[in-house]
Structure 1
Amino acid sequence: MKRVYQSCADRITNLPADVIQRILVSLPIKDAAKTSILSSKWRHNWKSIPQLVFDGRFARINRVSESQSDLRSKLTMLNIYKALLVHDGPITKFVLSIPGLNFCDLIDHIVLYFANKGVQDFTLMFDSRIFDTSERSTDDYQMHSSLFSALHLKSLKLRSCELMPPSWFDGFSKLTHLRLGEVTLPSDFFENFLTKCPMLEYLRVIDCEGPAVELEIVAPSLKSFHYAGSLRVISFKCTPLLTFVALYTVDTETHDMAAFFASIPTLKQLHASAAFLNKLAAGNGNVPTKFPSPMHGLEVFDMIDLDFHNLEMEHVFVCLIMSAPNLRRLAIRLDPCHLDDPPVNNEVSSTGKLLEADDCSGSSKCLQQLREFTIEDSCGTQVELDILRFVLATAPLLRRISIRPSHQLSSKKAMKFTVEAMRYKRVSEEAELVYHWVDKNT
């Protein structure tokens, strides 16, 4: 038994240095520190790991009174500060995302510390949602100015703080990924800040306050843009690499759909709220059945909150799928607010009529590349049946249709919908229709 133990100990001790480092990086930092007892060779290795992640596995500040929360936050920050003091190697990644953490003066020192350490990936997230607060804090942490001198940054993720660049800020020349959530920004953020980040490829802005609501995105290296929040007008200029766009907003006053999509000729994935697309089309009066210039590059289309009882919204949906001949994946999430409407019947909906006008007999050129179609929160409407019938009849490469009913949908209506859908002819021999039945008795 002793020989077996010594053999195992020797194997652990004699692991190559790069293997030891990969093991330590994959562990929570508390567990990484505990490996110091394994052998003399391991004793100090944890002090030089290049990635420091302080998250919920390191500490969690439970819901307590404000004074207790402040005290626990300070004690947690002191422990983090102690860990940094004994660290003796380069740091490429730092994450501070502890649920319930309040900001304190020590955070300024930590930001200053990392600005001078050449960190490439920096994450600082405060999560007030653990306290079930419904309103944004009026005294969010204001990011220390030293962050703007961290010229090695490649990835920056911030939540629930203020980001106000000083006048001397010249930009992050190496920044490729920027994620901001519930961050207070300057009014000229998109106009001024982004132009100083020429290598930016990924931009995610969620529920942020302060920036102008009329946006012109100029980012020559941008590949992915995700925005949710108040927005009146948006346009893209000089974004030749942009392939992914997600827009979840209802306040837009941008009205020219054709011009909007023409400004993103490289678009491959579109994720949007139905209300946004409906507003986008509102200025045209009548939405055409197809765009004059088809979106040949669009491969993935995902729309949420779709209301098929809204005629304009139906037209927008039809217009988009008829204008994307290379669509591979189509996903819609319905707005289940019309469940009390009359059940499905044999009448052809307005959507069905528009689709049949494009020749539903099989010679239609749309959906020829479609592989997957998903309906979330199905309401069991006639419009859905018409769309299913069209998809099954025109998509020769279709492999799967997945339908998840709304939890509010009655079993009787769901059953009738399923039986009707199963009757439709399929041009794809591999097409599989999966209905995720909800058992109301469980």
Structure 2
Amino acid sequence: MKAKCLSKAQQLSLTTLPQAIIEIILCLLPTAEAARTSILSREWRYKWTTIPKLVFSQYTFKKTIEAGKLVWSDWAQMSDLERARRYKDMRCELFYAIHQVLLLRQGPIHEFTLLMNADRTCFELDQILLHLSGNHTIKKLTLKLYHSDPYGLPLSVFSLHHLTDLYLENCAINHKPIFNGFGSLTSLTLNKIRISRETLLHLLSNCPSLKSLYMLIYEEQFVGDEYPYMEPSNMELFKCLPMIEHLTTSGYLIMSLVQASNPEELPASLIHLKCCTIEDMCFVDAYGLPFLADLIKCSPNLEKIKLEINAGCCIETKVEKLEEHSVNMEEYSHVWLEHLNELEIKNFCNYKSELEFVKFILARSPNLKKVILVTWMDDKDEEFEMLKILLRVPRASPVEISVESKF
């Protein structure tokens, strides 16, 4: 019986697998490696041309050049002119490979990923995106670009109406807010994007199906605003996200984009929001805590809050100003977070505003199961006193409080 099984195993060949399985296997390989399978046999010559997922990286060609000619230390010793020439050669090789792959394509492309060093003069990328917008139903587009002078996104990208996932890094959106947005988009990442506030809000408001949003944009990256000091309110931003379930942003963006809403303004409802993450959060400025308080007020189904405090923001703030912009959480005593089960705060500094926020969450969350506080405190006595305070405050549930020190 054992010999018979081995005999059958020896007769198995990858060519006997269904085409759908072969495509799954090839999609797990880098596109360059998938294309190399064409040398295996006559049957495999064109199998890679039907895979719906393409991934291209400039660093694949960089490693090839380094392996054949240079080591990394040689790059560091090059002149700027020579290094620029080498990068140009890699860029030309990369785009040549992309054009060759697109020329041989025999099926639809659903996912396209590109990682490279691209600036605003990268016109070759314009042609590739134009080709994709006119010939394929792209569902996932990822552009991870690296340059101090960001690549200007062409209008052809906004005609990719089948997009469900869009990841943009180090791009510039310079167009006036005239495009119709993405009706099918459910996941959007905007990482270090150069854009105007008006265009950003127009883009978000025209993605009605958006469920996951990651935004990391710094103040200096907002451009083209005639009156940059007139930020929209929190409610204006929330109204752009009616279906959002997962929101990740930063204290820098909150400070640069929005201001606190008027108390009498009717809240926009974020009834689908389940998870909120704020990086570089600051509890002692005029933006962070008011934004978070407004968001909690509008999110009755919130399940997880994850905050990473910008410790530098707290240290640089003068002691006498720590409470100047604090929010009175008692004004939100009518708010109940019935679905919240986890709160995590990194770089907890034990300032009064931070402590009051944790107390509020403990008192207003009947299903809270876990609170994790990661602190910078090196004084064990101070840490113990803080924990005693938290254990004594009113709690709506028998929650587990965990305090971890980075020291």
User: Is this a same-fold pair by TM over 0.5?
Assistant: yes
Match of 1:68 among 62, 86, 90: 86
Q: Is the 8 A contact 2:343 2:371 kept in 1?
A: yes
How far off is 1:375 after superposition? 0.9
Contact kept? 1:399, 1:428, Cα under 8 Å: no
Equivalent residue for 2:328, pick from 348, 354, 376: 354
Equivalence for 2:11: 10
Distance 2:330 2:122 in 1: 63
Q: Show the counterpart of 2:368.
A: 398
Q: CA deviation at 1:355?
A: 3.5
1:403 to partner: Cα distance: 1.6
Note the 1:69-218 alignment, pairs <5 A.
69-84=87-102, 87=104, 89-93=106-110, 95=112, 97-100=114-117, 114=132, 117-118=135-136, 120-121=138-139, 123=141, 125=143, 127-128=145-146, 135-136=148-149, 160-165=150-155, 171-188=159-176, 190-191=177-178, 193-194=179-180, 199=184, 202-209=187-194, 213=198, 217=202, 218=205
- Counterparts of 1:94 and 1:259 in 2: how far apart (Å)? 32
Aligned partner of 1:424 in structure 2 is 392
The CA deviation at 1:68 is 1.8
Q: 2:29 & 2:248 partners in 1: Cα distance?
A: 35
Aligned position for 1:23: 25
Q: Report the secondary structure of 1:60's partner residue.
A: helix
CA distance in 2: counterparts of 1:107 and 1:313, whole angstroms: 38
Which position in structure 2 is the counterpart of 1:331?
306
Quick one: structure 1 residues 437 and 98, their matched pair in 2 at CA, closer, same or farther if it must change by over 3 Å? same
Which residue matches 1:253?
230
Structure 1 counterpart of 2:222: 230
1:16-56 alpha-carbon deviations (Å, 9 max, x no partner): 23222221222223443454566664454234433332236
Preserved CA contact (<8 Å) 2:201 2:237: no
Structure 1 residues 326 and 231 mapped into 2: Cα distance closer, same or farther (>3 Å)? farther
- After TM superposition, list the pairs within 5 Å mapping 1:280-319 onto structure 2: 280-281=258-259, 288=263, 293=267, 295=269, 297=271, 298-310=273-285, 314-315=289-290, 317-319=292-294
- CA gap 1:232/1:414 in 2 versus in 1, 3 angstroms: farther
Q: 1:399 Cα deviation (Å)?
A: 1.0
Deviation at 1:410, TM superposition (A): 2.8
Q: Measured at CA, do residues 3 and 373 of structure 1 come closer, stay the same or move farther in structure 2, by a change above 3 Å? A: same
Q: Is the 1:214–1:231 contact (alpha carbons within 8 Å) kept by the matching residues of 2?
A: no
Does the CA contact (< 8 Å) of 2:50 and 2:105 recur in 1?
yes
Q: Tell me: CA distance 1:420–1:34, structure 2 relative to 1, closer, same or farther (3 Å).
A: same
Say if 1:74 and 1:45 are closer, same or farther in 2 by CA, change over 3 A: same
Q: Which runs of 5+ in 1 are unaligned?
A: 130-134, 137-159, 234-250, 344-348
State the AA in 1 paired with 2:9.
Answer: C
Residue pair 1:198, 1:219 contacting (<8 A) in 2 also = yes
Counterpart code for 1:388? V
Partner of 1:156: none
* Amino acid in structure 2 at the alignment position of 1:433: I
CA distance in 2: counterparts of 1:90 and 1:327, whole angstroms: 42
Identity in percent: 18
Q: Hey, what does 1:243 align to over in structure 2?
A: none
Query: 1:318 & 1:49 partners in 2: Cα distance?
Result: 47
One-letter identity of the residue aligned with 2:345: I
TM-superposed CA distance for 1:200, in Å, is 5.1
Q: Does structure 1 retain, via aligned residues, the 8 Å contact 2:116–2:146?
A: yes
Q: Which moved more, 1:4-13 or 1:375-384?
A: 4-13
C-alpha spacing 1:396/1:276, structure 2 compared with 1 (3 Å)? same
Equivalent in the alignment of 2:53: 51
The residue aligned with 1:132 is: none
What is the DSSP-based 3-state SS (H/G/I as helix, E as strand, rest coil) of the residue aligned with 1:433?
Answer: strand
Higher relative contact order (CA 8 A, sep 6+): 2
Q: For 2:388 and 2:167, how far apart are their aligned partners in 1? A: 45
- Aligned residue pairs: how many? 375
Q: Distance in 2 between matches of 1:115 and 1:353?
A: 47
Q: 1:378 to 1:118 in 2, by over 3 A?
A: same
Does residue 366 in structure 1 map to residue 324 in structure 2?
Answer: no
In the aligned structure 1, how far is the partner of 2:403 from the partner of 2:234? Answer: 33
**Alpha-carbon deviation of 1:397?**
0.3
The letter of the residue matching 1:162 is: G
Pair 42,418 (structure 1): closer, same or farther in 2 beyond 3 Å: farther
Which residue of the partner structure matches residue 152 of structure 1? none
Contact residue 232 and residue 254 of structure 1 kept, 8 A: no
Question: In 2, distance between residues paired with 1:209 and 1:314?
Answer: 26
Offset from partner CA, 1:80-126 (integer Å, 9 cap, x none)? 445555x3621414635244478878767755765664352575746
Distance 1:108 1:258 in 2: 36
C-alpha displacement at 1:174, in angstroms?
3.9
- Asked whether the 8 Å contact 2:133–2:160 carries over to 1, the reply is no
Render the CA deviation track for 1:265-301: whole Å, top value 9, x for unaligned.
656555444466567446x7xx64x865584625444
> Which consecutive residues of structure 2, in runs of 5 or more, have no partner in the other structure?
67-71, 76-82
Tell me which residue corresponds to 1:150. none
- CA change 1:232–1:404 in 2 (3 A) is farther
Q: 1: CA distance between counterparts of 2:190 and 2:278?
A: 19
1:141 — aligned with what? Answer: none
CA contact (8 A) 2:374 2:403 kept: yes
The equivalent of 2:206 in structure 1 is 219
Per-residue CA shift, 1:147-166, capped at 9, x if unaligned? xxxxxxxxxxxxx4333448
